[in-house]
Structure 1
C-alpha cells in the first residue's frame, strides 16, 4: 500500500471515529433505534436544606432512575433527561421551579414534593405540562386536571390512620401543622375514627418549623389520658423533634404517669401510645433515632405502599444499588424515594405505550386522560385516571388510589400490622 493511500485510509477511520464520538455526545443511546428518537426532558423538584420538611431523596432517585433507564437504551429509545430543582419549601421557590420546567421544555414534572400547589400548578397548567406522582401533600395535586397522583395523598393517610387508631385507642390527640393544609387534617382523622363510632380527636396545632414542642407534647399527653390514649403527630420532618420533646416530658405527672419514652424504663407498655403516618415517620427516622431502642418502638404508622422489605420493591432496590452509587440521599425505605420510583414507572409505561419518535407534554396527558393503565408491580393498585376512576371526594376529586397499609414498629423495623391494602375511599368521601 502506498504512503498516500495509507494516509487517506487513516484519515477516513479518524473521521468516522470522530463522528461516532460526536453522535454519542449528542445523546444517542446504546440500544436506541438509530438515534432517530428525540430526548425526553422532565423535571423533579423537592425542598432541600430548609428548616421544614426536606426531600433530597426524590431528585436523587430521579437521577439514578435516568442513569438506569439510559443504560438500557432509554425510554423506548428516547434518552431521559432529568432536571432537578430545589423547591425551598416556599411558594416563590415552587413557582421558580415550575417556570424553569417551562423554559427547559419539560414534557412532565415527575415524582416531586411541594406544599405550594397554587404556586406551581398555574405555570404548569398554562404550559400544558402534566404533574405525575407528586408526593400528595398539596390540595392542588388532587384538583388540577393536569395532575396524576399515584397515591391518595395526606387525605388517604390521615383518614386511614383514624381507622387504624380506632381499633386500639380510647382517646386520640392530633398534633399537626398550623397551616392551611394542616387545617384539613382533623376532619380527615375524625372521619376514620367515626367509622368505628369513635370520639373525635383533640386538635393541637403547632408550628411546622419549631425547634421544640414541649408545650404541645404536654397538652397532647394530658388530653390523651392514661387508659389506651394515643398521641399522633403529623409534622413532616419535625415529627421527630416533637416526639423528642414528648419523650423528655417529666414522668409521674397528673396526666396518668405516661412514660413518654416508648416502652418505658421498666419495659412495660406505656400509658400513652404514639403514632404517625408515613412521610412524618419512616424507616430512616427510626434508624436514626435508635432502631429497636427508638422512641418510635411500638408506634402505629399508616402508609401508602407495602412495607419496605416487601419483594415488590426488589426492582427499585436493584436500580438504587447499581445506579445511585454511594448517594446516601437515596434510601429505599423513604416514602419520597418510593413515590418517585412509582411516578417514573408511570412515565416509562406511558412513553412506551405512545411508541413515537417525538414525545410532548400534550401526548402524555392525552394518553393518561384516555385511560392508560399502569401496572406498578404490586406497589399500588393498577393506576388509571379516566373520569370513572376518580374518587370525586370534596377537595380531592382526582384521587384514584385510595388504598393504604397499616404498619407498626417492631424491633426497630416498620412491618405490616395487617396484610395487604385497606380501602379508605368511603372514609375520605365522608370527611367534612
Structure 2
C-alpha cells in the first residue's frame, strides 16, 4: 500500500471542455482587463522551454510547446487574465542539449519567474537542480526526464514513460499470447521489460522477449528479423524506441512475410497522431497498432476547449498541432497554473507562493483530461524511482483508419503495477 488516496473523476456534462474554459468565460463576463480597473494583482511571469532550432539530426524538436504557451497567454489575457492578473510567458529554445537546458533554467532563475510551466526537455539533470537552487517550481513538464518525477519542486501532470509501459503490459495482455519488446540498449531501456512484464504476468501471460536495439541506428533489420522469428499465433511486437520507432517498423513491415500481418504496438512519445499522419495515415505502418497514452484520444470532446483556443488565438501558427501530446500537456500544465494562481490571495504571485499553494493541496480540475490533480504528500505515489507521480492513469488506444481512437473507455490506474515493478527490481 502506498497510502495514496485516489480522487474521483468529475463528470458533469457542462464541464466537459474543462474548468479552464469555464473560468475564462466568467472572467470575460466581468469585463476585467489585466492591469486595468478591477484587476486584482501584479502580472504573473512564467517560462516555457522546449527545443526548436537544433543542430543534431537526432535531436527532438517540440516547437508546438512554447507556441501553445503563447497562445494560452493571448487567450487568457483577452478574458481578463488569471483572476485579473496579466499572464506573461517567456519562452526559451532548449535546443535538446544539456547546455541549452541549463541556459534556459538560469534564465528562469535570473528573471525570477513564478514557475516553469508545460515544458519539454530530455535534460532534466542539467535544468532542474538549477531551478531547485532558485526555488522555481516545475509544473507539468512532458515527462521526458527522470528528474521530473523525483525533484521536490516538480509537479508532473502524467506518470511519464514508466506509467505508459506498466499500462502497455496490461493493454497487450488483453489480446497477445506472447510479446516481443524492442527497446534501447541503454540504462533507461533496461528498466522497460520489468515495467511491461508486470502487466503481462498479472494476466497470466509469459514475460516478454527482450530485443535490444541501438538508440540511433538508421536500420533495424537485425532486430526486426529477431522479432519475426518469434512470431506465432497471437504474437505481438512492441517497440519503444522514441524517434527511432518509425525506423524500426519500416524495417519490420518490409521484412514481414507477404500476406501475414503481425500485431504491433508502442506508447505515446514513440508513436503519435502527427507521426501516423506523416507516414501515410490509413496506409501508415502503424495501422492497427495498439498504443498506450496518458490522456483521452485526440478526437475526444474533452479537447474541444483547447481546440477552440488554438483556432481563435494561434493565428495560423502551423507549429501547434492539437493532436500532439506535447501541446496537450502544455494546455493541461497551464490549466494547473491558472488554478494555483486563483488560489493565491496576495497581489504578487511569486515562485514561493506558487509552491506553497501546490504543497498545501490546491485541487486542479482539468475537465476530465486527467483525474483531479493535487500534490499533497498523501497524494504522491511515493515509490522510488518516481516518488512525485500523482497521476498514474493511462488510456488504451488503437490506430483505426489512420486515427488514434479509444480501444477502451476511460482511464486505467497502473499505481499497483508501478509499485510491483519497483519491488521486483529493488
TM-score normalised by length of structure 1: 0.86
Q: How far has the Cα of 1:197 moved from its partner?
A: 2.0
Paired residue for 1:293?
283
Distance (whole Å) between structure 2 residues aligned to residue 136 and residue 378 of structure 1: 20
Deviations 1:173-230 (A, max 9, x none): 222233333222222111121211222222233333332322222223323x132221
Give the match for residue 16 of structure 2.
none
Structure 1 pair 95–178 and aligned structure 2 pair: CA distance change class (3 A): farther
Q: Cα distance 1:34–1:209, how it changes in 2: closer, same or farther (>3 A)?
A: farther
Matches within 5 A, 1:11-50: 29=33, 32-33=36-37, 37-48=41-52, 49=54, 50=56
Question: In the TM superposition, what is the alpha-carbon distance from 1:74 to its structure 2 partner?
Answer: 1.5
Which residue in the other structure is 2:126 paired with? 119
Q: Structure 2: where are the runs of 5+ without partners? A: 1-31
Q: Does 1:248 align with 2:262?
A: no
Listed as ranges, the matches of 1:140-159 within 5 Å are 140-159=147-166
Aligned residues: 388
SS, match of residue 248 in structure 1: helix
Asked if structure 1 preserves the Cα contact closer than 8 Å seen for 2:40 and 2:83, the reply is no
Deviations 1:210-259 (A, max 9, x none): 32322222223323x1322211111222222221122222x4xxxxx4x5
Higher relative contact order (CA 8 A, sep 6+): 2
Name which of 294, 297, 304 aligns with 1:307: 297
| CA distance in 2: counterparts of 1:54 and 1:219, whole angstroms | 31
Distance 2:307 2:126 in 1: 33
Match status 1:218 vs 2:225: yes
Equivalent residue for 2:211, pick from 195, 204, 216: 204
Q: Which residue of 2 aligns with 1:96?
A: 103
Query: Within the alignment, does 1:357 sit opposite 2:347 as a pair?
Result: yes
Deviations 1:378-429 (A, max 9, x none): 1000000001111122211111111111011111111111111111110011
Distance change >3 Å, CA 176–CA 29, structure 1 → 2 = farther
Whether contact under 8 Å (1:138, 1:181) holds in the other structure is: no
Q: Hey, what does 1:78 align to over in structure 2?
A: 85
Provide, for residues 324-366 of structure 1, a one-character-per-residue CA deviation record: whole Å limited to 9, x for no partner.
Answer: 1221211111111111100000001110111331000000010
Instruction: Answer yes or no: is the 8 Å Cα contact 1:76–1:355 preserved in 2.
Output: no
Partner of 1:392 in structure 2?
382
The residue aligned with 2:13 is none
Which deviates more from structure 2 when the two are superposed, residues 396-405 or residues 48-57? 48-57
* Cα-to-partner distance string for 1:57-76 (whole Å, 9 max, x where unaligned): 11111111111111112122
Query: Closer, same or farther in 2 for the Cα pair 1:294/1:231, shift >3 Å?
Result: same
1:229 aligns with 2:244: no
Residues 129 and 218 from structure 1, CA distance in 2 versus in 1: closer, same or farther, beyond 3 angstroms?
Answer: same
Q: Does structure 1 residue 106 correspond to structure 2 residue 113? A: yes
Q: Which residue of 1 aligns with 2:11?
A: none
SS in structure 1 opposite 2:247? helix
**Range 357-366 or range 92-101, more displaced:** 92-101
1:417 aligns with 2:418: no
Aligned-pair CA distance for 1:31? 7.2
Distance 1:179 1:100, change over 3 A: farther
Counterpart check, 1:173 vs 2:163:
no
Corresponding residue number in structure 1 for 2:268? 278
RMSD between superposed Cα atoms in Å? 1.8
Q: Is the 8 A contact 2:39 2:83 kept in 1?
A: no
- Answer whether contact 1:351 1:364 (CA < 8 A) is retained: yes
Contact kept in structure 2, 1:132 and 1:147, CA below 8 Å: yes
Maintained 8 Å contact 1:213/1:241: yes
Which among 390, 403, 409 is matched to residue 393 of structure 2?
403
Say whether the 8 Å CA contact 1:76–1:351 is kept in structure 2.
Answer: yes
| SS of equivalent to 2:61 | coil
The correspondence for 2:338, drawn from 328, 336, 348, is 348
The answer to whether the 8 Å contact 1:52/1:209 transfers is no
SS at match of 1:354: coil
Deviates more, 1:311-320 or 1:389-398: 389-398
Q: Distance in 1 between matches of 2:413 and 2:184?
A: 26
**Closer, same or farther in 2 for the Cα pair 1:145/1:246, shift >3 Å?**
same
Task: Report the structure number with the largest CA radius of gyration.
Answer: 1
- 8 Å Cα contact 2:35-2:86 kept in structure 1: no
Name the CA shift for 1:197/1:126 in 2 (closer, same or farther; >3 Å): same
